[in-house]
Structure 1
Amino acid sequence: MLIYLLKRLAAIVPTLLGVLTITFLVTQFVPGGPVDHMLAQIDGADVRSGGEAESSGGWSYSGRSGIDAAQIGQLSELYGFDRPPLERYWQMLKNFARFEFGDSYFHNQSVWSLIKDKLGVSVSLGVWTFFLTYLVSVPLGIAKAVRAGSRFDFITSLLVLAGYAVPGFVLGVLLILLFGGGSFWDIFPLRGLTSDNFDELTPLGKATDYLWHVTLPVIASVVSHFAMKTLLTKNMFLEEIRRQYVLTARAKGLSERQVLWKHVFRNTLLPLVTGFPATFIAAFFTGSLLIETLFSIDGLGLLSYESINSRDYPVVLGTLYLFTLIGLFVKLAGDIAYVLVDPRIRFSAQEN
């Protein structure tokens, strides 16, 4: 196990290096970099001051023609694009090795401070999504396995598959139309995780206000996540229930509850544990971009989306670096939990 862990830890370095290299090549050489983005804003400001209408999205930019070369040089130097790409690449690797991500091009603060400001929001949504996924899918999967073939199993299967077929973003739009004042009922708020007067509320009022804001985003995230986990739990339980040791336990006089939770559940825990990393990553990162953008929640997902649009490369690279690093360590933690659940598992076969 120790040798396996050392190998996995050693593999983290080339994985991070590959992710950063590919992302650097993409971000540094695609058209419309941060210099062009800033020039577009300046060009748009000049158009508006001249009394002409600005194009949609603020991009009334007609290229670098007519822009003072000295101004372009100053912007290139400000963003570090006056140096050769290879030099910038090596400098990026040195900084990232020390977890120094630099400063945002457009937020006037460091990338670290931006991440710390937004991290709590994404963690809040991710924790709710992660735990509710398991709290719903595992009991529901067990109930479906115990009542396999019944009307309950049939109806819940239709609901689960329907939830899986509808993407979280589409479900979020539907929830807004139904309950967010879109076309029917104006029940839940649509922006942020707290109200503007949050600091003035009592502790109970703060908790209620937070839960009121988080309801729709969490529902949109959870519904699309728990379907596969529910079906996996059901199938694993059905497979274990048909085994000989279950018949033996029942023959010894154990109650059905003892058979299910003491014997069957323990043996089906292994595949559920192995799904922890994928569920964790999906809850915290995969769905956060669309959900946070849709509900205007100021978290890491929305920050990444805005950074890509504005070509804020330090923020793009910094968040991607952290996401990749967290994902690798979570996967490693899942493997460790895999062994803790079943010590018989060996990741590397011994040679004879």
Structure 2
Amino acid sequence: MVKYVLKRFLHLIPLIIGMTFISFLIIKLAPGDFLTSLKMNPSISKETIEALRKSYGLDQPVIKQYFLWLWNALHFNLGYSFAYHRPVTSLIADRIANTLSLTVTAFFITWIFAVPLGIIAAFYRNKFVDRIITSVSLVGLSIPGFFVAFLLMFFAAKTGLLPIGGVVSQNYEKLSLTGKIIDRLKHMVVPLTAMVVGSISGLVRLVRGTVIDELHKDYVKLAVAKGLPKRVILFKHVLRNAMNPFITLIGFDIAGLLSGAALIEIITAWPGMGRLMFEAVMLQDFFVVMGALYIGGIMLVIGNLIADILLALNDPRIREREIEGRR
């Protein structure tokens, strides 16, 4: 198992290097940068701008710039934000907590509700319960998340029942502990609902389809013939065999914890990584863009590695194929 994990990890290292290198080149192909825009400011001399460019190594050839950035990034020195006048590492640290609080909550809510609903729909296939669940999930899939966000923003603005934008209210520090928790939860309602609606709907349909496929296999017919209770067949045998595609999805969800809420964050003015990335791109804040991509790449590696480990633990056949491959 240790060799399997190490092999998977080594495969993912070139992935993150390739991703950051291509992103670096694409950013460099764009005309100008943040320092170029400073030339429009008459109070800043050309000498000052050139000195800044030289001090951050931006006057070097592109390949040399990349390897300089990569060496610093490996030591988690992600550079300095020209727009925010702060080190990129501390800037991302502030925003990443907001994004993770939103995406991790959405992740757990999605899986807690979608998996049981999908199993129920599959178990009662073509019956009234199944039709209700599939109809509601189809409606949820038909409405884009950003449109749900717009509708909820409109509702919040018209009724005043929910706050718009930000993580906490202005009087947050004056609230009691319970009041602070409630205040944070109220601010999460709009972006969280917009994220969860489509995610639950899509996962419900996937769980339903996968479980139905398993229910038609020969081992299920044999278990029924032996007289095993339906609950034992469903939860002990069917669900475990149906878990592989779900585990792969968990890996993708973990990888997308930082990027999955980008559009929702921008629409709902949630100060997270997605909004930071958008602002950095608009301002051509090079080090912030690369820092966010680098952290996103690390999350991608971690997500895929976790998915591979869970797949190997759930299905011994995967480990056996790896052993046979080495032979």
Specify if TM > 0.5. Answer: yes
Asked whether 1:30 is paired with 2:23, we answer: no
Asked whether 1:350 is paired with 2:325, we answer: yes
Aligned equivalent of 1:235, options 209, 216, 225: 209
**Take 2:326 and 2:287, find their aligned partners in 1: how far apart are those partners?**
47
2:287 matched to which residue of 1? 314
Asked whether 1:174 is paired with 2:151, we answer: yes
1:53 matched to which residue of 2? none
Tell me the SS of whatever aligns to 2:160.
Answer: coil
Asked whether 1:286 is paired with 2:259, we answer: yes
- Deviation at residue 340 of structure 1 after TM alignment: 0.7
Aligned equivalent of 1:132, options 101, 104, 109: 109
- Deviation at residue 112 of structure 1 after TM alignment: 0.9
**Take 2:291 and 2:162, find their aligned partners in 1: how far apart are those partners?**
34
- Could you tell me whether the CA contact under 8 Å between 1:168 and 1:287 is conserved in 2? no
- CA gap of 1:75–1:97, structure 2 versus 1, over 3 A, is closer
- CA gap of 1:240–1:20, structure 2 versus 1, over 3 A, is closer
Uncovered stretches (5+) of structure 1, i.e. residues with no partner: 47-66
- Deviation at residue 71 of structure 1 after TM alignment: 5.3
Q: Deviations over 1:26-74 (max 9, x none)?
A: 222311311222334x27xx9xxxxxxxxxxxxxxxxxxxx96445534
- Could you tell me whether the CA contact under 8 Å between 2:145 and 2:198 is conserved in 1? yes
Aligned equivalent of 2:237, options 217, 242, 263: 263
Higher helix share: 2
**Take 2:317 and 2:67, find their aligned partners in 1: how far apart are those partners?**
44
Q: Which amino acid aligns with 1:307?
A: A
Q: Deviations over 1:125-168 (max 9, x none)?
A: 11111111111210110111112112332333232122223221
- Deviation at residue 75 of structure 1 after TM alignment: 5.0
Asked whether 1:215 is paired with 2:192, we answer: no
2:8 matched to which residue of 1? 8
- Deviation at residue 293 of structure 1 after TM alignment: 1.1
Q: How does 1:1-352 map to 2 (within 5 A)?
A: 1-40=1-40, 42=41, 69-70=46-47, 72-74=49-51, 76-77=53-54, 80-177=57-154, 179-181=155-157, 184-282=158-256, 284-346=257-319, 347-348=321-322, 349-350=324-325
- CA gap of 1:325–1:79, structure 2 versus 1, over 3 A, is same
- Deviation at residue 317 of structure 1 after TM alignment: 0.6
- Deviation at residue 108 of structure 1 after TM alignment: 1.6
- Deviation at residue 251 of structure 1 after TM alignment: 4.8
Tell me the SS of whatever aligns to 1:286.
Answer: coil
Q: Identity over the aligned pairs, expressed in percent?
A: 33
Q: Which amino acid aligns with 1:237?
A: V
Tell me the SS of whatever aligns to 1:233.
Answer: helix
Q: How many residues align?
A: 325
**Take 2:20 and 2:212, find their aligned partners in 1: how far apart are those partners?**
44
Structure 1 range deviating more: 124-133 or 155-164: 155-164
**Take 1:113 and 1:129, find their aligned partners in 2: how far apart are those partners?**
25
Structure ID, larger Rg: 1
- CA gap of 1:15–1:266, structure 2 versus 1, over 3 A, is closer
Q: Which amino acid aligns with 2:26?
A: V
**Take 1:111 and 1:72, find their aligned partners in 2: how far apart are those partners?**
20
**Take 2:290 and 2:301, find their aligned partners in 1: how far apart are those partners?**
16
- Deviation at residue 316 of structure 1 after TM alignment: 0.8
Tell me the SS of whatever aligns to 1:149.
Answer: coil
- Deviation at residue 314 of structure 1 after TM alignment: 0.8
- Could you tell me whether the CA contact under 8 Å between 1:102 and 1:314 is conserved in 2? yes
**Take 1:203 and 1:68, find their aligned partners in 2: how far apart are those partners?**
50
Structure 1 range deviating more: 85-94 or 112-121: 85-94
Q: Deviations over 1:87-116 (max 9, x none)?
A: 322311221222211211121211111111
- Could you tell me whether the CA contact under 8 Å between 2:255 and 2:301 is conserved in 1? no
Tell me the SS of whatever aligns to 2:317.
Answer: coil
- CA gap of 1:225–1:286, structure 2 versus 1, over 3 A, is farther
- Deviation at residue 254 of structure 1 after TM alignment: 4.2
- CA gap of 1:201–1:142, structure 2 versus 1, over 3 A, is same
- Deviation at residue 343 of structure 1 after TM alignment: 1.7
Return the structure number with greater relative CO, CA threshold 8 A, min gap 6: 2
- Deviation at residue 267 of structure 1 after TM alignment: 2.4
